[in-house]
Structures are given as C-alpha cells and as structure tokens.
C-alpha cells in the first residue's frame, strides 16, 4: 500500500464520529415484502437533522447485538444510518425461511431502506458469511438505490460450498441446520415478536446430538420423520432445507437459485471482498472477486472490485487478531476491518454521485504472504506472473506415514513402486479441531502417523519458494471400490518437524469428470483424479520442506464415502477399499503449485 493510499484510508476512517451526539435506536421497524410478508429491522442512527447514507445488513443470526457498543453502534457514530434486519422466517421476521433464497427480499429491503426519512437515498450492504450471501444474491437484481457492497467470506456457488468436490460438508451443514432448527422451533412455540431467544435443546444437548448424528447413516434419514417433541425428528421438521441439500448431490436446476457466479454479468456496483487463508469460503470469495472484475455488467463495477486476504479464519479480523491457534503471524496480521468498511462506504456514499466518484484508491488486491508474514499489493488474482510448477510424487513403495519414504521431486520417475493403503469408512482420518467454516494451521504430525495417510515431502529447501494461488493435486489411483474419495493437504514442514497445514481439498471419484453427471470407477483400473486443494499464499523458507498428504477421508468436515457406489446417502452399508497410488512415467501423479518468481 503506497503512502497516498494509506493517508486516504486513515483520513477516511479517522474519528469523525458523532461522539457528542447520542444515537437513536429503533426496534422492529416493519418492511413489507412484495408477497406481503413483514420483515423486521432495527435502526441505529445519529441524532441529526441531516439525511445520511444507509448501511444495511440482513442476517439469519438475530439482529440483536451482543453488547451496547456493537459494530452497528460504531458505524452509526461514523455517520451512517445502520439498518439490521432479520431475514425471512428468522427471529423477529415473518414468513418461512428458505435458506439462501435471499434475492427478492434483499431487493425489496434496499428500496425500503432508501425511503426511510433519515436516509438520503444511498444504500450500501455489508456483512459476512450468510450476510454476504444476502448481498450477492440481491445485487444482480439491481435495486436502484444500492451503491456498493462489502461481502466478507462468500461463496460463488452454494453447490460448491455444500458438495466440495462432490463430498458433503457434513460438520458445517449439520451444525448450521441444527442452529436454524432451534430458532424455527422457538418461533413456532413463541410467535410473540417481543420474545427473542431460543427454546429447546441446551448447548450441551445440541453438541451431543450433533456428535451422534455425524456418525449416523444413512445420511438422508438422519432425524427420523419429524415427530414433534422428538429431537431425532425435529431436524427434519424444523430445518427441512438440510434434507433438500442431501436430495441434490449433483449440480442441477435446484442449485441455480443460489449460484452467485452465474449472475456475475448482472452486477453494477462496486464490492470489497474480504476473506482469510483459513476460511472455508476462501475459494468462493476469490472467484467472486475475479469473476466480477472480468464480467460485471458495467465498467464502473468491473474497475471497482477489491480484494483483501489475510491470515484469518471465517471470523471477522480485528486489530488484535494475529493468531490462529498456536500460530502467531506477527503484529502486521492485525487488521481493523471496520475502518476499511467506513472508508469504503464513505467513498461511495460521499457528496458526489457514486457512479461519478471514480476508482477507489489503491491496488485492487492486498494479500498477506505467510511464511514471511507481510502484506503485499497486487494488480490481479490469480497472479499473472505465477508459474505452474509440478512436483512429482514418488517413493520406494512405502509412503505411508511421515516415517515412510514418500518424496516430492521435480522430475518424474521413469519407474517406481506403487503406494497402497486401506480406507476404512469406520475409521476415517480425523479433521482435527477447527471452528465452523474454518480450517486451521494445525500441526499434522499426529495424523501423519496413520498408515492410511501417504506423505510426500521435498528435501529441505536451499532457497525460499513462494506459492501464491490455486493448488492442484493430480493423482493416478486404482481402487477396489466403484466410488471412493481422495483427499489432499498442503503442509509447510519446519526444520524442527512441525508440519503446519496450509490448505486442503477432497474429490469424490464419481464426480471426477464434472459435478452434473456422476460416473463410477472401474475397480482396479488406473484413473487420474484432480483434487482442488484450495488456495494459499505462503513462502516456504530455507530449511523447510514442501509436503502433501494423500488419503481418502477428512471426517467430520466431509461425509464418509462408503465405497459402495450406491446412491448418495440412501443406505448404511459401508466397505473398506484398497487404494493404489501410481507415480511413474506412465502415471505421473503430481502436485502443481503456482510459484512466484523471486
């Protein structure tokens, strides 16, 4: 970031707060949607006679903040009318929620906010995760008073979030829908809008139930038939959307409603995309940025897409958040995202017309490069100067565990013994602890002791290698099963042996040729499978090693492939699979890394 840009952001976010003025907070203002359903919102606004621009957040997680100095209060003191609305069927809003079907309600709400007597007609939208979805599905409908977005941690395709490589996002999906079911049950039992809270299971009971259901098979019948009062049935009764997802394991017309990338050409507003390298929605955020920058409807929108990626999880970063678990990325990792939100919306809701306000200053992309732990400005994503570089998997026939002889080499071996392992769905490789919708830089040494994990490493590096971009592992496998999964994890191994996870991916074999039409394997026949291992920006320092782990499960983040080839989620039968990984001149299994010249 150059000095001019830094000064702009500092001035734009300086404390022009209305500290001497109290805020007015109005609860449960009613907005009527086009179908007559009433959604309720809280409004935070400064005491002033001036009309101000509005910032809208639509949330599925209750519009009531946890404290009296929330982000909503602070943004209002910065000179905005802040409107926070419960989405349809959630908390104080009427109707029946259809998760993620938020386009029409978003349009109607933007236009309603623009008519409020304290609003000058300009509306921005902000928020992360589900609240990013509410922005990105409303914007392509082009509400006339919408001027800019600030989506944090977004998906580009809901299908690709739910079925990553064709594997179901079991832990996040079950946890999210149990939470939704809790609130829907509360609303049905206590429809009085003066009540706001949850009834039903205690947090401990919910965790116990979730842990039991993670292992339950068949997936499509988890929760029984929806018997009232029976926790094993109330998931289906109060959160049927969970089972709608399970009923569509292939990409089809049902998923199109929730596909942001299919609507990139309809966007007309600037958007600032924020995410973290350990956010499970990282790839979706990256693809929204690059897709909108290339394909948005107007030049104004295309030129004003911005992206920032830091060493963060799914949680919103703060000035004091420099760690993930036991990894500290240094003081530069702290980031005041709220100041950036203020600067962004002041720019687009300033005195000049938003469309005439010009390009937001600074480079379009700002990345935190791990390993060296520093920020760097870039002109595009992915980086044009990245060079796709292959490291070939090889071994002496025993790559099992970190103590094995798996290697990553720059030249493909003309002949090499194959590696084998057994994937048993009753003993899957554990994900390890991580927050919802987040990965983590765990030390993988314990997992790397398992014989069903193949480990391939370079020799200690003699010079730094920067990897910034999308990672792919292309593996030749022959399996005894008609369907199975392949997993991959990129790891940075320090001289002391610490094996820090960077990113991972999974591919269900039946979807190896596309997400619309499953195709089973021929048992025993070598087949190349490409695994999307996500994205990262990391410098592997001298003395470190580049490592990739290969296995067939990552549980409970993803559901276990039963290896039977049966229809998805329909029965409880599982069987072990013998997996053979080929790596020679005929079957060149390889890790493809985007290396940045230095």
Choice among 183, 279, 485, 559 that is catalytic:
279
Q: How many residues does the chain have?
A: 598
Instruction: Tell me if 311 sits within 8 A of 329, measured CB to CB.
Output: yes
Q: How far apart are CA 394 and CA 391, in angstroms?
A: 10
Instruction: Tell me if 475 sits within 8 A of 393, measured CB to CB.
Output: yes
The DSSP symbol for 373 reads T
Give one DSSP letter per residue of 564-585, joined into a string.
S-PSTTS------EEEEEE-SS
CA 482 centroid distance within chain? 30
What stretches of 190-281 show up as alpha helix (H) in DSSP? 203-215, 231-238, 241-246, 253-256
Q: Which residues contact 12 (CB under 8 A, 6 or more apart)?
A: 342, 343, 346, 347
Instruction: Tell me if 295 sits within 8 A of 264, measured CB to CB.
Output: yes
Choice among 100, 145, 273, 314 that is catalytic:
314
The DSSP symbol for 87 reads P
Q: How far apart are CA 556 and CA 171, in angstroms?
A: 5
What stretches of 312-397 show up as alpha helix (H) in DSSP? 337-348
Choice among 13, 93, 129, 337 that is catalytic:
129
Q: Cα–Cα distances in Å, from 146 out to 46, 105, 440?
A: 21, 14, 35
Q: How far apart are CA 281 and CA 260, in angstroms?
A: 13
Give the three-class secondary structure for 467.
Answer: strand
The DSSP symbol for 264 reads G
Is 129 in the active site?
A: yes
Q: How far apart are CA 241 and CA 247, in angstroms?
A: 10
Q: How far apart are CA 182 and CA 197, in angstroms?
A: 10
What stretches of 455-574 show up as alpha helix (H) in DSSP? none
Q: Which residues contact 130 (CB under 8 A, 6 or more apart)?
A: 59, 60, 61, 87, 100
Q: Which residues contact 10 (CB under 8 A, 6 or more apart)?
A: none
What's the distance, Cα to Cα, between the start and end of the chain in Å?
20
Is 279 in the active site?
A: yes
Instruction: Tell me if 127 sits within 8 A of 102, measured CB to CB.
Output: no
Is 480 in the active site?
A: no
Q: Which residues contact 204 (CB under 8 A, 6 or more apart)?
A: none
Phi then psi for residue 224, to 5 deg, are 65, -150
What's the token pair of residue 257?
A: 């409603």
User: Taking Cα atoms as reference points, which of 505, 496, 507 lies closest to residue 536?
Assistant: 505
Instruction: Tell me if 474 sits within 8 A of 589, measured CB to CB.
Output: yes
User: Pairing relation of β-strands 38-46 and 23-32?
Assistant: antiparallel
Instruction: Tell me if 234 sits within 8 A of 222, measured CB to CB.
Output: no
Three-class secondary structure assignment of 10-26: HHHCCCCCCCCCCEEEE
Q: Which residues contact 191 (CB under 8 A, 6 or more apart)?
A: none
Catalytic residues: 129, 279, 314
């Amino acid at each position: 970031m150059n000095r001019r840009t830094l000064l702009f952001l500092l001035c734009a976010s300086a404390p022009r707060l209305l500290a001497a003025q109290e805020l007015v907070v109005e609860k449960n203002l009613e907005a009527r949607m086009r179908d007559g359903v009433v959604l309720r919102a809280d409004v935070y606004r400064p005491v002033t006679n001036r009309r101000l621009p509005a910032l809208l957040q639509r949330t599925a997680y209750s519009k009531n903040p946890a404290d009296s100095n929330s982000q909503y209060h602070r943004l209002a003191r910065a000179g905005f009318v802040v409107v926070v609305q419960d989405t349809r069927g959630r908390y104080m809003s009427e109707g029946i929620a259809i998760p993620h079907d938020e386009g029409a309600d978003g349009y109607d709400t933007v236009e309603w906010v623009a008519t409020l007597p304290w609003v000058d007609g300009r509306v921005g939208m902000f928020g992360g995760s589900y609240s990013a979805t509410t922005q990105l599905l409303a914007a392509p409908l082009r509400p006339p008073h919408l001027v800019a977005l600030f989506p944090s941690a977004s998906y580009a395709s809901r299908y690709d979030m739910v079925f990553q490589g064709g594997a179901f996002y079991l832990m996040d999906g079950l946890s999210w829908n149990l939470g939704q079911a809790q609130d829907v049950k509360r609303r049905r039992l206590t429809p009085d809008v003066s009540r706001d809270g949850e009834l039903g299971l205690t947090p401990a009971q919910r965790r116990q139930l979730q842990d039991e259901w993670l292992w339950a098979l068949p997936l499509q019948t988890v929760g029984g038939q929806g018997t009232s009062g029976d926790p094993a049935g109330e998931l289906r009764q109060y959160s049927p959307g969970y089972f709608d997802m399970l009923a569509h394991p292939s990409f089809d017309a049902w998923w199109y409603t929730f596909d942001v990338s299919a609507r990139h050409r309809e966007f007309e507003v600037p958007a600032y995309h924020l995410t973290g390298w350990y956010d499970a929605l990282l790839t979706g955020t990256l693809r929204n940025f690059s897709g909108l920058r290339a394909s948005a409807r107007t030049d104004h929108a295309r030129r004003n897409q911005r992206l920032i990626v830091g060493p963060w999880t799914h949680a919103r970063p703060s000035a004091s958040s420099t760690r993930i678990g036991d990894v500290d990325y240094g003081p530069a990792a702290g980031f005041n995202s709220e100041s950036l939100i203020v600067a962004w919306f002041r720019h687009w809701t300033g005195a000049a017309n938003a469309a005439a306000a010009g390009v937001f200053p600074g480079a379009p992309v700002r990345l935190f490069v791990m390993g060296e732990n520093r920020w760097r400005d870039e002109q595009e994503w992915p980086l044009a100067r990245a060079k796709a570089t292959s490291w070939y998997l090889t071994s002496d026939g025993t790559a099992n565990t970190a103590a094995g002889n798996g290697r990553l080499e720059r030249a493909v071996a003309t002949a090499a013994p194959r590696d084998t392992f057994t994937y048993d769905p009753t003993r899957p490789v554990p994900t390890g602890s991580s927050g919802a919708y987040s990965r983590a830089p765990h030390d993988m040494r314990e997992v790397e002791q398992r014989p069903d994990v193949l480990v391939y490493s370079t020799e200690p590096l003699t010079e730094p290698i920067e990897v910034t971009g999308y990672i792919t592992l292309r593996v030749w496998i022959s399996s005894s099963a008609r369907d199975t999964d392949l997993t991959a994890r990129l790891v940075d191994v320090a001289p002391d042996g610490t094996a820090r996870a960077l990113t991972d991916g999974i591919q269900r074999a039946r979807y190896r040729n596309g997400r619309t039409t499953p195709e089973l394997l021929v048992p025993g026949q070598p087949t190349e499978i490409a695994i999307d291992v996500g994205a990262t920006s990391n410098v592997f320092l001298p003395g470190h090693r580049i490592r990739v782990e290969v296995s067939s499960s990552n549980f409970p983040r993803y559901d276990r492939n039963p290896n039977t080839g049966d229809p998805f989620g329909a029965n409880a039968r599982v069987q072990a699979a013998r997996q053979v990984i080929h790596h020679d001149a005929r079957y060149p299994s390889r890790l493809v890394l985007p290396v940045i010249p230095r």
